[in-house]
Chains A and B, each alone.
Chain A
Amino acid sequence: MSNQQRSFFFNVDWLTVFIYLALCTIGVLSIHSAVFDPKNQSIVDLDTNYGKQFMFVIIAIVLGIFILLLESRFLSALAPAIYCVTTLLLILVLVIGRNVGGNQAWISLPGGFRLQPSEFAKFATCLLLARYLSGANIKVSEPKSFAIAAGIIFFPMILILLQPDAGSTLVFSSLLFVLYREGLSPYFLILEGLFIALFVLTLKLNNLPLVIGGIVVVAAIIIFLFKRNRKLMLTMLIGAGILITFVFSVQFLYTKVLKPHQKVRIDIVLGLTSDPRGKGYNVNQSKIAIGSGKLWGKGYMNGTQTKYSFVPEQSTDYIFCTVGEEFGFAGSVTVLGLYLLLVLRIIYIAERQRSPFSRIYGYGVASIIFFHVVINIGMTIGIVPSIGIPLPLISYGGSSLISFTIMLFILIKLDSNRMGMIYA
């Protein structure tokens, strides 16, 4: 125990901190470029988004240092409480929340700031999930444990879906990686991959007999090739059944459950419709901005598409356009490289933990960051339907930045204490 009291920064993983700071800096600079107004040049002007973001970064760093000061065991102990608080906030936002852009996702705070509870629900859920799964005799592969773990994940999802913020809701599905790591059957992961593939195929081909026929033929071939393996045969039959059911439900989901604007977004990504001036305007302009960056980009603050507001939402959801346009492919590689390095580093950190709580939590953090990055950037380049979720640490927004900071610094704190006691 005496070890930990030597310094706040003892055993801190500096590489993670460095990536964190790099991404925050890129964020402030990109927002600065996106909303720069020559009449107002100060970077610490609180009337501007980059000024505010700069302030958020300072607050976040202070908060990060504060987290490093905490006792590690509190984090595990407080997990249920934090989960409860964010759940309450998620309910509260449905009652007193401010509706911005069709989503009732914000709670107004004094001073003109707004709080987005769904951002905080992400790490709260990670914490509780880690706490539950790290418990003795809990095995995800067992139906009961799996059900409880799934419940922890689904509960905030349902509340967020009521806002209705489909993007943030989907983020929680990334926690499937955590369950997989902790022993969930790989079939779930495979099934999820197949679901996505079949969803696309069903809508794109618009030919149910062909898709179902394909599933039957593939299953039959596998069964034929491995006819000795009776277990596999059974799995295949069940799997094929699930997939066929899914294919039928896609049509229903697509026509009955999805809202028209969501349907259109999916259609645009699949190339079923094209509406560059209307529904597809955002994505089209975003592709133009990124695509026109070429190899080295147009240079900082020289992006015509982002600077002259052709790209909408450019400091929040479409912030990657600024990077793509002004720094080109080189900038894209750098930013994506930083994210990949970050999530791989987090997995590495998670795996070196002795405490299952820390490990599970680490995987949760990696999954959520990864999901955000892929969906957000995928959306800006038109391979993922338009879903409004921020790019971690870069997009403008205090709630998002602070939430990711807390998420990451909790991991850093847990990691710095990896040689200490196992709390859970």
Chain B
Amino acid sequence: MNQFFERRYVIGGIFITIILILLARLFYIQIIDDRYTLSAKKNAIRQVRQYPARGPILDRNGKVLVSNDLVYDITVIPKEVKAFDTVEFCKLIGIDKPEFNKRFAKAIKYSPNLSSSFEKQLSPQLTASLQERLSEFPGFTVQPHPIRTYPDSSAAHFLGYIGEVSEKGIIESGGHYRRGDYWGITGVERAYEEVLRGQTGVENKMVDSRGVPQGSYANGAYDTLAIPGQRLTSSLDSRLQKLGEKLMQNKVGSIVAIEPSTGEILAFVSSPGYDPNERMANYNELYNSPYKPFLIRPIQANYPPGSSFKPLSALIAMQEGVITPQTTYNCPGYYTAGNRRIKCFNGERHGVVNLSSAVAHSCNGFFDMVFEKLINLHGPKQTDTSFTIWRNNVAKFGLGSRLDLDLPAEGPGYLPKASFYDKLYHKGGWRSSTVISLGIGQGELQATPLQLANIEATIANHGFYYKPHLIKSIGDKQIIKKEYTIKNYVGVDAQYFDPVIDGMQNVVDYGTAAGSKIPGIVMCGKTGTADNSHGKPNSVFVAFAPRDNPKIAIAVVVENSGQGATWAAPIASFIVEKYLRDSITRRASGIEPSYYMNQNLLPEIVVKTTPAQKAKADSLKKLKLDSARKKAPVKSANNKKPLPVKYLAAIKPKDDE
């Protein structure tokens, strides 16, 4: 004991205080702050993603359209790369040193610790030889990677393709996708991505500070299994699709077939097409082709419907009460609208026609008369009002707007508004005669093949359509979206359809498309020979069959090939017969599918003007735009953007008629 005895309490107090400070800090980092737990997980637990098999896509009969196959990619973890024979490695995978350095720098930039892809889709031979020598290249691994294969090599536009997810896509997915993941980019692959992709599994592996795996975390308690993507059954009929693609080879155009009773799309041909298996291999060639094989013509091409529009005109006119089925017109071979004359095809005189025979013979005069009546419904001074009524009636059939197909990048076609003409000719400066060519499906009116086919489905159903769609069911469940079971009425009473359908039957029975008559099947159709600014008219044919209880509605467009009856109608008739009968019988007219398959109708391409001159010419034309002119400057899909090429006459203008 001494005089400083009490100082023991000071020292003891200091000791206790400091230990309590340590404990408070420990309490904070161990109990309160969760950051460290997360960091610890990030440190020691590596999530290995288990990729599920992507869902296959089948046709309506269960035939596989797309399935998966394994290819091998090289991936690299930069931090694990040690000195190795770069030259040998480059030689092996066939790249040069600068390219190697570029890719390696990219991988480091992504992450030195994580694996990123280095070379994709190795050939089987390369995979084998590389796998043998992989130990020489530490840090590099060969990873299996599923790709899509297409057993039929068909329906490329319909199915779309998958590709590596973009940086933007990664961000927008909120972390669902990682760099190097694949996702659907176009077509069904894109539209049904969430169903097809399945669920990525996660395996939690413990790793040490150098990233060496040390076994599974918590005995796999937090692991999730990869769930394969669901099987999609599409509405497509692969027999029709393949036949359609064959018939359309070496032609530019499109076929869309719809089952009227459901809205299911049976065929979806865009020509020229390509083999989806070879898409990557031929990418540059396809990309640079003037025929734009990547364009999805059934939904992106805009065609003037031409005469195929006439049944629609007749229906609207009857609904508006301006004609009856008995209304007649004495055709002198032309129609006089204002001070101009619109000739019937080849100036043919049809004499006295009624609705049915006017449809059967595609009498322009009758339908110009009908159109004038519609546009003058409220008197010649009220063109605007009457035009808007007409336009609304047409729009109800789905023209001028997207049909919301379950496929991305659908186009709306074009259905001009009254304001369009107000702008073009000042307000009140245009009359029915000014826009008379709309009445026969020409002028500014443009439709996608899907819209044309949908109109036929509507006529087949006597006044309504189901939204066209591509997918019948998802997985084992018949998941049909509710919107696909709703009847969309087009505002024309059912009673008005039969006179029009009579006419359409006559078209095939003895009218313009008589050559395409199918023995034993009543097909109702309408030819169209749609003039356009690119050379020969587009050959258009729309139809449905059979007349009673229709099973298929179809639209065929063959660009710049001539009359509707020459190309589009026979092609459509083969598709229809194939679908209804599963075989193609001998025709009275003697036509055979093989003839059409072998015809090359690709428009000849001549580089005529420089892009600048072409653009100038375009703008000049726009100023002088006149809807009544025979050669209306219709913007075809091929010409969406000014191109340095111009389609001229077909190689061989072979004409049957």
Binding site for B on A (CB under 8 A): 177, 180-183, 186, 189, 285, 287-295, 304-305, 307-310, 324-325, 328-329, 332-333, 336, 339-340, 343-344, 347, 350-351, 356, 363, 366, 370, 373-374, 377-378, 381, 383
Contacts and interface: CB of A to CB of B under 8 A. Distances in A.
B40 interface: yes
A374 B16 CA distance: 11
Given A288-B40, A292-B37, A340-B16, A381 B26 contact: yes
Interface in B1-58: 2-5, 7-8, 10-12, 14-16, 18-19, 21-23, 25-27, 29-31, 33, 35-37, 39-41, 43-45
Given A304-B40, A339-B19, A332 B8 contact: no
Contacts of B22: 336, 374, 377-378, 381, 383
Given A181-B7, A340-B15, A347-B12, A308 B208 contact: yes
Contacts of B43: 285, 288, 304-305, 308, 310
B36 A291 contact: yes
Contact of B25 (A304, A350, A370, A383): A383
Contact of B44 (A189, A310, A374): A310
Nearest to B30: A329
B226 interface: no
Shortest 7 CB-CB contacts between residues of A and residues of B: A291-B36, A292-B40, A308-B208, A304-B44, A291-B29, A329-B30, A288-B39
A347 B11 contact: yes
A336 B23 contact: yes
A189 B15 CA distance: 13
Contacts of A310: 43-44, 208-209
Given A181-B4, A290-B36, A291-B30, 17 more contacts: A180-B11, A182-B4, A183-B3, A287-B29, A291-B29, A291-B33, A308-B207, A309-B208, A309-B209, A310-B208, A329-B26, A340-B15, A344-B16, A347-B11, A347-B12, A350-B8, A383-B25
Contacts of B35: 291
A310 B45 CA distance: 12
Contact of A292 (B21, B26, B39, B214): B39
Nearest to B40: A292
10 contacts: A177-B11, A181-B11, A289-B36, A291-B33, A304-B43, A304-B217, A305-B43, A308-B209, A340-B16, A344-B12
A309 B211 CA distance: 10
Which of B31, B36, B208, B214 has the largest number of chain A CB atoms within 10 A?
A: B36
Contact of B27 (A180, A285, A329): A329
A275 B19 CA distance: 28
Contacts of B16: 340, 344
B206 interface: yes
Contacts of A325: 40
A113 to B, nearest CB: 28
A371 B650 CA distance: 97
Contacts of B44: 304-305, 308, 310
Contacts of A363: 11
A329 B37 CA distance: 13
A181 B13 CA distance: 13
Contacts of B8: 181, 347, 350-351
Interface string B382-403: 0000000000000000000000
Which of B5, B22, B206 has the largest number of chain A CB atoms within 10 A?
A: B22
B101 to A, nearest CB: 24
A333 B45 CA distance: 28
A268 to B, nearest CB: 15
Contacts of B14: 177
A344 B37 contact: no
B31 A294 contact: yes
A288 B36 contact: yes
Contacts of A329: 26-27, 30-31
A306 to B, nearest CB: 10
B448 to A, nearest CB: 56
Contact of B19 (A289, A307, A308, A336): A336
Contacts of A304: 40, 43-45, 206, 217
A279 B146 CA distance: 43
Interface string B354-389: 000000000000000000000000000000000000
Nearest to A141: B4
Contacts of A307: 208, 214
A180 B13 CA distance: 14
Contacts of A295: 30-31
A293 B30 contact: yes
Nearest to A294: B30
B11 A332 contact: no
A324 B40 contact: no
Contacts of A374: 18-19, 22
A340 B40 contact: no
A295 B22 CA distance: 16
